[in-house]
Amino acid sequence: MAKALIAVDLQNDFYEEGALAVPNASEINEKVNELLESDKYKVIVASQDWHPASHLSFASNHNQEPFTPYSDDQGLGPVLWPDHCVELTEGAEFNSEIKTKHFDYILRKGKAEAVDSYSAFQDNDGTDLGLAGLLRSLEIEEVDIVGLAFDYCVKYTALDSAKNGFETNVILAGTNAVNPDQVDQIKADLKDVGVKFK
């Protein structure tokens, strides 16, 4: 069975010193690099949050404080974020410890000013980002997912992977959450749609 690895948002702004830090993010790097260097994947796709400075998910563009509750019908929310992963900035670059030479494709998301993009498969408004089509063209049947953060972009990528019919696994040693207290509920939600954990 042909397998793919999706490495979600392994970017400086989601690491410990970043603008939207995931606690203990760097702890996942060893496992991520082990998978990147393995020969078990037909293709490795890395997603990269890539926002314009004017992105409407940023609290600064609403004259609000970060983490202010906010939502609309265009795919923003549930809160306004600190400025993060702004295109062409150091914060948007991949963490230097990650062995990026093994990436076959880089999929940039969150580029539309008025729509956020948690999943690597689609924007929050449902706009297809082309990942499912790419994987099908390569006859991929099974997907492993690592990256940041488990409770946002990894979760939504896994949900959409399963929805698109791929056998989907989240590699727990290769992800960490912003909110560790939500991990058990998210795992239950993912199991409900057939996602497995390794």
Say if residue 172 is exposed, middle or buried (CB neighbours under 10 Å; 0-12, 13-18, 19+): middle
Percent of the chain with pLDDT over 70: 100
Taking the CA of residue 134 as centre, how many other CA atoms within 13 Å lie in the half-sphere pointing to its CB?
A: 22
Residue 188 in any domain: the answer is: no
In contact, 47 and 10? CB cutoff 8 Å: no
Residue 183 in any domain: the answer is: no
CA dihedral 39, 128, 169, 12 (to 10 degrees): 70
Indicate the pTM of the whole model: 0.96
The per-residue pLDDT of the chain, averaged, comes to 96
pLDDT of residue 165: 98
Which residue segment(s) compose the domain that 143 sits in? 3-176
Element (H, E) at 159: helix 155-163
Amino acid at 97: E
Catalytic residues: 9, 109, 153
Confidence of residue 160 (pLDDT cuts 50, 70, 90): very high
Residue 189 in any domain: the answer is: no
- The domain tally of the chain equals 1
